[in-house]
Structure 1
Amino acid sequence: MSGFSTKLTQKIIISYLLLVILAVIASSYVYSEISDYLATESTTENDIKLLKTNTFVSQLYEAESLSELALQTRKKSDFNTYKQHIETLYKDIDELRGLSTQEQQLIQLDSLQLLLEQKVLNTNVLRKFKTQDQTSAAIDMALEQFEQMEANLGVITAEGLAPNLEELSPKAQEAIKKVAHYLNSNIPPDESNEDKARRADSVLNVSRSLLREVKEENMLNLQALTKQERTINRTNLELSQQLGYILASFEKEILVNSINDTIKKETALKRSIRLASGAALLGFLVVVVFIFILNRDFWKANLYRKKLEKEKKFTDVLLKSRERLIRTVSHDVRTPLNTISGYTTLLEDSKISQQQQNYISNIKSATGYMTNLVNDLLDFSQLDAEKMKPEKIDFNLADLLTETAQHIATAHANEDISLTLKIEDTLERPIVNDPVRIRQIMANLIGNAFKFTLAGEILVKANVIDTLEPKLVQISISDTGVGISKERQEVIFNEFEQAPDHRAQNYHGYGLGLSIAKKLIQLLGGALTLESEVGKGSVFTLKLPLVFGQEEQKDVTKVPPIALQKPLRILIIDDDTAFLHLLGEMLRSENITPILFSDFNLVPMADVDLTYDLVLTDIEMPKVSGFDIVKQLLEGKYGHYKNQPILAMTGRKDLKKEVFTSKGFLTVLRKPFSKSELLQELGILNQVDKMVHHEVSANLKGNGLYHTGLLESFLGDDGMAIQQLLETFKKDTIENQMSLKIAFLNKSATALSSAAHKMLPMFRQLQITEAIPILEVLEEIPLDYDNWKNIKIDFDKLHRFLDKLLETLENETTKSPVYNG
């Protein structure tokens, strides 16, 4: 699946890379086309040139108007205005010259500027000619003045003869000034009127002749000027035509360039559109192809995911089966181990030889090893399933370390190994953590140190690290043992890993100690490290969060057993009639009166003649659970209950004792329990004169299907009681087998689980190992279970075995109506 995921990721990356490459290629090409498109933006310069040209033409027309005005008014101020306007046109020509790149255009602009300069000169000459045309009018006015002077002579001035003297030609101005001077110089000072008249007439005649000559000469000049004016007008016309040709050529060039630029733009735009369309089509095809590929891979991924989910469910079932197996095997191993340990203790107290004592020591060692293995398997199973929860209580770490180390050292007292403890005084204060788990961790680590050290020293140091926040407690266990190589240090904390060169020849271990220790340290929020060198020893260092207790730890007085006195009466409630009958027989053998009820609803509520000293109830019952029973008793609903102690019985190992005590139970007995365990909880074990132990036989008649060893530990040599118990067990098994069949046919998980739970206690007491694992699976079947085909094989196997078991019980009880042991 990992490889498939990698391939799918690679395909996605490749698809995106192709799309990116395509986008880069298309973008670069479009960019080049846009660059070409923008390059045609030289039309902006053409537009500016065209705008300047149009502005220039408008200014030229305005200059033409100013030229006409100057010629009409013949005023010098109007001509100066015209000349200034022409100079503005020179600046426009310079700007157009800067926008032009062709040599021909520059030549034309230079010609245009020369023509404008020539036009200015021609206009000025023409204006002066028109001004000279006023000389005749001045002469005519002077002649009229002569007519008036005949009657009255006085001082005559040139301005009086010609008011516009300044605007006349220099020659006319000089003639008029001479006439005025002549007239003034010939006026008689004191003459009679006749003399004055004769003299004035003479003067006037001379002046008239002089002015007429000037007029005639002026007429000749006017004719010449008229001819010159026609020449100048023709020149101006040619100038205007030439200017029009130049401007038309200029506009044509601009227009052609503009059309060419437009064509280039359209061509570049069409190419860009074609490229963009092609890129979009190609991108769409790439997307479609990769969508198809990725969809195909997605369906494969879904298929693999479904297979993985199926495998995961199967794995979960296997893990649960492994957990149940470990639990079952642990229980089935622990029960005979307890028996072996008990018989070993009895043998030690008897008179035996030294050789027999050695045999017993070996048995005790092997039994202890097996007990530790079972406990470690259970702890490992709980840690692996993350079902173990740490407790947080106050305890003295220094005392715990000292007790644990000295206990292990005592077991190795005959070896040449010294133990040294260095515990910081600060740790004399109580801390808050899980003392049980820390003791288990230290026992594993210190035990390993002794196991792998032939001779030398083991040092246990504990100190506080207060430079960090939160504070830490550091515990190191160093030894001078065989050490661990670098390669092995990488895997030494794995499950079932062992050092290959340890010294224990008869006790090889099983490789769970360090793995469980590390998992427990991690559960407590700490860390475990290792430093080791082959031949020099090892140092295990663990660090745990440190929280000091609020108060000094007080001495805790152990709660003694109930310490009830015989004779006793015990109210017992259990839905398993066979187990109920077993308890009754066992208690009667100890002169204890059992009051038995298979259903709590049958217990009378009124304060009738029902007296008892203790209540013993099962927890998981179909009608009224043990928790409901203790609740109703404590609420005072039953008049015969006078606050007697209540004990719980259960086959569940996942519920802690605190769960039961918090509900009102005094303590809890874990099924299966022995007679001595029950009596010890009742506090009357020391009152029993002698506990009779029997060697556990294979079974009643040696057929191997069931074992009566535990029954014998309860009932002793009472063969009749065992026979009756087996009869009850056979009857209940027939009923329970029918309940299992009905529940399976109806596919009722609840009924199936209830029937299996009811059967398990007696099957465990009789050690029917072939059926117990299947019943435990059925007991824990989920309420919404729907895969009935998976359990059909085990279900059929269970029924075949039950038929065989019932047949065997029928034969044995028929052959042995009276049990004689």
Structure 2
Amino acid sequence: MESKRSYMPIKVLFGYLALVALVVIVGWFLYSENAIYNKLEDKIAFEKTKILKVSKLFSNVYKTESLARKTIQNNSEKDFKSYLTETDSLRSRIDTLKQIVTTDYQKVLLDSVTYLLSEKTDNIRQLKTIKNKAEDEVSVNTAIDEITKMEFKLRKLELEDFTRSPNDLGSYQRNVLQKYVDYLNQNIPDDSTNTLTKQASDSILANSKKLLSDVKQKAEKKKESLNFEENKLLKNEIAISEQLRKVLRIIEREIIINSIKNNSLKEKSLKKVNEIVTASAIIGLLLTVVFSIIIVSDYSKSQLYKKQLEIANFKTKNLLKSREQLISTVSHDLKTPLSTIVGYSELLGNSDVNTKQSYFIKNIKNSSEYITQLVQDLLDFSQIEAGKITIEKVPFSLSEIIDEVAKSIQTVYKQKNIDLIINIDEKLNSKIVGDPFRLKQILSNIIGNAYKFTEQGFIRISAYIVEENDFFAINIEDSGIGIEKKNQKLVFEEFAQANENIEKQYGGTGLGLAICQKIISILGGKLNLESTFGEGSTFKIKLPLLFDTSAILPDRGQQEIILNSEKLTFIVLDDDINLLNLTTTVLKQQKHQVLSFTHAAQALETIRNTDFDFIITDIQMPKIDGFLFVKKLKNETNSFFNNQPIIAITGRTDLDFSTYTNAGFSTVINKPYSPKILLETIQKVLNKTITHEDNIIKTEEQVSSKNYSLETLKEFLGNDAESAKEFIRSFIENTKLNLKALENAVQERNIAEINSLAHRIAPMFRQIQSDEIGTILKKLEQNDLENSNLESLYSALKSKIDLLFDTLKREIL
């Protein structure tokens, strides 16, 4: 099932990769086409620019033609100059267009246009010259008319008498006319009467007319020649203009063809882009559908597998629970007969027995001790696996613990020739805070193994501070048999030995080091092994270091509440791990022995085989509450319970004091309570001076108007700031877990679970006098919640708790 499920993320990954690849490919194609499209756009814009310039050329050509016709018609020098100016402008435009055309053919055509313009200009000049010559004929005709007029009057003549503008005549006409005028003026009589004879006058006029007629005939012949040349030049002018327009039309047509071609390529590019987008959309849709089907299919399978896994997990939990119950039951059932066997073995050993019987008794005793250790290891391992192991934080002397454990084991193996060497750093002579019971358990296992697997040589135990005073280390080195490198990891596994001969030769369950490693991990430390086969082993323990500041600077208030000097054994029972730790800490600070439990069943089982002096129990607990616990305690047939004092601790205020005393309790303490009240109450119970007025109802005077108060918490922890911080961290973490469970219960509207969880959470908030949160929790503890707005109550509770925790983290942590 696991191998099948592992394919689902791979398929999802491939699906995303396929889509990413599609996006990249499509993006690349679109980018390429976009580049081509932009180039085409630039080309089209460029061709449009050329078309615009060609159109302007056409406009200039038409303008020059207009000026040319005007020049020819008027034979005006001004119009001709305007024509020349426009022609120069046209040439300049042609040169500009030549710089942007793309083909040599277009450049050749533009050169042709320039050439035709030059030819046209020359042609107009020739036409202008012919026009001037044609005007000479007009002057001759005018001269004849003037002579006719002079038949009536003779006088001194001037050129102006024959033509209005002598300077505009051609040189030939002006010379002929000037000679004629001179001739006439020579024949004018110089007498006073200024008269000629009729015969002389007729002779002069006749000769003049004849001379001018000859000139006229020559002029007419020349006119015919000029008309022929003029017509020829006009046709040439028309041909040049037509040719010029034709060349420009060819250029324009070629540019338009290029534009059309570019537009066609542009349309093809757009069509290709559209095809790419459409194809990619279709492929993307198909990929999405395919991978959606695959993912949905895999999700359905994963849901099926999840359901199967949940069923398997449920069965596994039941099996583990059954195993735990089996181990607990078997261990309990074994402990009683084992105690009997051990006891009778000792009695037999102390009686008069022979050597053979003594040998039998010794074997029985050794086997009993082995089974007892096995049972204890199984119980420890089961508790660790179930997460039921409790860790205490109390002050203790590390050097005393090491010395006590090492020397007690040394006495067991006194027959072996082994030197015990203990080196403890002077810095560790001060008391430290931790769990001495668990440390003893760890050291007993490891030092015991060192003695077990060492026949001679030494065992060296060293303790020192590491990592800037944050941790302390304990190294246990022996000169024993050592462990092969390939088997070194096996020693930390459950029911495993370094090799198969170990159990036969030395015995052992294979649980000791596994339990040690798990406990050290729970304590926040590490356990490492260095060993050389045949030379020895070194186990290195590293644990967090916290010095006991209260031992250095004892608090005056704490000293005042030390009431009883007798060292007692207390059974403390509370389902709230935070309050359980507080109560345990106070009692251990008074040097009492404390056995703490979160479940009543565990407490009852331990009580059967443990001598104790005092019981402190919570009232509202799951499965077995305080009243049922006392009832079961008194109904036991064994003689383990001899009416020892029992104090009830409760947050309930609806029960009368007599309810508790009638149930068998010595007195009752209402939550929240202070260490002073707890110790005073214990002292009064021991002195048998407890009265109804002495019960904890007095603690109501402790309630403060503040949002919270840590004074009683500090009293519990001996004003140890570091312990307070650690406790608050634990309190915050446990509360968050309970809040999550409460949220689920609210969503499911499980009233019984809501009541139970609210009761579990409430005491600690009352203990730190957080009244607003306590009020909400009190509402959630009530049974009539069916019609309540649970969601709003939970929301208000969580909001206030989050605000409180933020304050605690900021001000305390």
TM-score range normalised by the length of the shorter chain: 0.5 to 0.7
Residue pair 1:454, 1:503 contacting (<8 A) in 2 also: no
Tell whether 2:322 aligns with 1:321. Answer: yes
- SS of equivalent to 2:492: coil
Aligned partner of 1:55 in structure 2 is 56
Tell whether 2:418 aligns with 1:417. Answer: yes
Tell whether 2:305 aligns with 1:304. Answer: yes
Q: CA RMSD in A?
A: 5.5
Tell whether 2:578 aligns with 1:559. Answer: no
Deviation at 1:364, TM superposition (A): 4.4
Residue pair 2:113, 2:248 contacting (<8 A) in 1 also: no
Aligned partner of 2:3 in structure 1 is 3
Aligned residues: 612
CA shift in 2, pair 1:269/1:6, >3 Å: same
Aligned partner of 1:460 in structure 2 is 461
Residue pair 1:463, 1:475 contacting (<8 A) in 2 also: yes
CA shift in 2, pair 1:297/1:574, >3 Å: closer
Partners in 2 of 1:312 and 1:507 — Cα distance?
Answer: 38
Which digits, 9 at most, give the CA deviation of each residue in 1:767-813, with x for residues without a partner?
Answer: xxxxxxxxxxxxxxxxxxxxxxxxxxxxxxxxxxxxxxxxxxxxxxx
CA shift in 2, pair 1:193/1:226, >3 Å: same
Query: Aligned AA for 2:7?
Result: K
Residue pair 2:452, 2:506 contacting (<8 A) in 1 also: no
Aligned partner of 2:427 in structure 1 is 426
Deviation at 1:495, TM superposition (A): 1.3
Partners in 1 of 2:569 and 2:432 — Cα distance?
Answer: 31
CA shift in 2, pair 1:137/1:388, >3 Å: farther
Query: Aligned AA for 1:455?
Result: Q
Deviation at 1:488, TM superposition (A): 0.7
Deviation at 1:334, TM superposition (A): 2.3
Deviation at 1:138, TM superposition (A): 7.6
Partners in 2 of 1:559 and 1:163 — Cα distance?
Answer: 161
CA shift in 2, pair 1:576/1:638, >3 Å: closer
- SS of equivalent to 1:124: helix
Partners in 1 of 2:457 and 2:634 — Cα distance?
Answer: 57
CA shift in 2, pair 1:663/1:383, >3 Å: farther
Residue pair 1:451, 1:504 contacting (<8 A) in 2 also: no
Residue pair 2:661, 2:667 contacting (<8 A) in 1 also: no
Deviation at 1:144, TM superposition (A): 12
Partners in 1 of 2:138 and 2:96 — Cα distance?
Answer: 47
- SS of equivalent to 2:551: coil
Which digits, 9 at most, give the CA deviation of each residue in 1:236-291, with x for residues without a partner?
Answer: 11122333433444444455555555556656665665665555445544544443
Is 382-391 or 455-464 further displaced after alignment?
A: 382-391
Tell whether 2:247 aligns with 1:246. Answer: yes
Deviation at 1:509, TM superposition (A): 0.7
Aligned partner of 1:450 in structure 2 is 451
Partners in 1 of 2:327 and 2:64 — Cα distance?
Answer: 117
- SS of equivalent to 2:377: helix
Partners in 1 of 2:22 and 2:416 — Cα distance?
Answer: 80
Deviation at 1:371, TM superposition (A): 3.2
CA shift in 2, pair 1:166/1:372, >3 Å: farther
- Aligned positions of 1:56-455 closer than 5 A: 56-71=57-72, 74-76=75-77, 78-94=79-95, 108-131=109-132, 169-171=170-172, 223-256=224-257, 277=278, 280-281=281-282, 283-344=284-345, 361-455=362-456
Deviation at 1:394, TM superposition (A): 2.6
TM-score for the superposition, normalised by structure 1: 0.60
Residue pair 1:431, 1:546 contacting (<8 A) in 2 also: yes
Deviation at 1:52, TM superposition (A): 3.5
Deviation at 1:330, TM superposition (A): 2.3
TM-score for the superposition, normalised by structure 2: 0.61
- SS of equivalent to 2:6: helix
- Aligned positions of 1:652-667 closer than 5 A: none
Unpaired segments ≥5 residues, structure 2: 571-612, 616-625, 688-751, 753-813
CA shift in 2, pair 1:473/1:76, >3 Å: farther
Partners in 1 of 2:425 and 2:188 — Cα distance?
Answer: 155
Unpaired segments ≥5 residues, structure 1: 595-613, 618-625, 649-657, 668-680, 684-749, 751-821
Deviation at 1:418, TM superposition (A): 0.8
Residue pair 1:479, 1:539 contacting (<8 A) in 2 also: yes
Partners in 1 of 2:651 and 2:379 — Cα distance?
Answer: 31
CA shift in 2, pair 1:478/1:639, >3 Å: closer
Which digits, 9 at most, give the CA deviation of each residue in 1:553-609, with x for residues without a partner?
Answer: 68999733499xxxx9x9x9878989746669999xxxx9x8xxxxxxxxxxxxxxx
Partners in 2 of 1:458 and 1:639 — Cα distance?
Answer: 56
Residue pair 1:647, 1:666 contacting (<8 A) in 2 also: no
Residue pair 1:631, 1:663 contacting (<8 A) in 2 also: no
Deviation at 1:66, TM superposition (A): 3.0
Is 409-418 or 376-385 further displaced after alignment?
A: 376-385
Aligned partner of 1:788 in structure 2 is none
Is 32-41 or 399-408 further displaced after alignment?
A: 32-41
- SS of equivalent to 2:406: helix
CA shift in 2, pair 1:258/1:576, >3 Å: closer
Partners in 2 of 1:662 and 1:357 — Cα distance?
Answer: 52
Partners in 2 of 1:336 and 1:84 — Cα distance?
Answer: 136
Partners in 1 of 2:433 and 2:155 — Cα distance?
Answer: 150
Is 41-50 or 303-312 further displaced after alignment?
A: 41-50
Partners in 1 of 2:219 and 2:315 — Cα distance?
Answer: 136
Partners in 2 of 1:115 and 1:327 — Cα distance?
Answer: 122
Partners in 2 of 1:372 and 1:285 — Cα distance?
Answer: 67
Residue pair 2:394, 2:433 contacting (<8 A) in 1 also: yes
Residue pair 1:529, 1:542 contacting (<8 A) in 2 also: yes
Tell whether 2:532 aligns with 1:525. Answer: no
Deviation at 1:442, TM superposition (A): 1.9
Deviation at 1:307, TM superposition (A): 0.8
Partners in 2 of 1:443 and 1:187 — Cα distance?
Answer: 172
Residue pair 1:56, 1:89 contacting (<8 A) in 2 also: yes
Deviation at 1:429, TM superposition (A): 2.3
Deviation at 1:348, TM superposition (A): 5.9
Residue pair 1:162, 1:176 contacting (<8 A) in 2 also: no
Residue pair 1:630, 1:664 contacting (<8 A) in 2 also: no
Residue pair 1:646, 1:666 contacting (<8 A) in 2 also: no
Deviation at 1:543, TM superposition (A): 2.0
Larger Rg belongs to = 1
Partners in 2 of 1:379 and 1:407 — Cα distance?
Answer: 21
CA shift in 2, pair 1:493/1:664, >3 Å: farther
Comparing both structures, which one devotes a greater share of its residues to helix?
Answer: 2
Aligned partner of 1:811 in structure 2 is none
Deviation at 1:393, TM superposition (A): 2.7
Is 235-244 or 511-520 further displaced after alignment?
A: 235-244
Aligned partner of 1:515 in structure 2 is 514
- Aligned positions of 1:31-46 closer than 5 A: 46=47
Partners in 2 of 1:562 and 1:442 — Cα distance?
Answer: 24
Deviation at 1:537, TM superposition (A): 1.0
Residue pair 1:341, 1:364 contacting (<8 A) in 2 also: yes
- SS of equivalent to 2:415: coil
Which digits, 9 at most, give the CA deviation of each residue in 1:539-564, with x for residues without a partner?
Answer: 1112223233324368999733499x
Deviation at 1:196, TM superposition (A): 13
Residue pair 1:451, 1:503 contacting (<8 A) in 2 also: no
Aligned partner of 1:774 in structure 2 is none
CA shift in 2, pair 1:71/1:421, >3 Å: farther
Aligned partner of 1:609 in structure 2 is none
Deviation at 1:455, TM superposition (A): 1.0
Residue pair 2:497, 2:503 contacting (<8 A) in 1 also: no
Residue pair 1:632, 1:638 contacting (<8 A) in 2 also: no
Query: Aligned AA for 1:526?
Result: G
Query: Aligned AA for 2:516?
Result: A
Partners in 2 of 1:582 and 1:24 — Cα distance?
Answer: 79
Deviation at 1:437, TM superposition (A): 2.0
Which digits, 9 at most, give the CA deviation of each residue in 1:181-237, with x for residues without a partner?
Answer: 99999999xx99768999xx99x9999999999888766655543332222111111
- SS of equivalent to 1:384: helix
- Aligned positions of 1:350-749 closer than 5 A: 361-467=362-468, 471-500=470-499, 507-552=506-551, 559-561=566-568, 580=634, 615=645, 627=649
Residue pair 1:462, 1:476 contacting (<8 A) in 2 also: yes
- SS of equivalent to 1:520: helix
- SS of equivalent to 2:490: coil
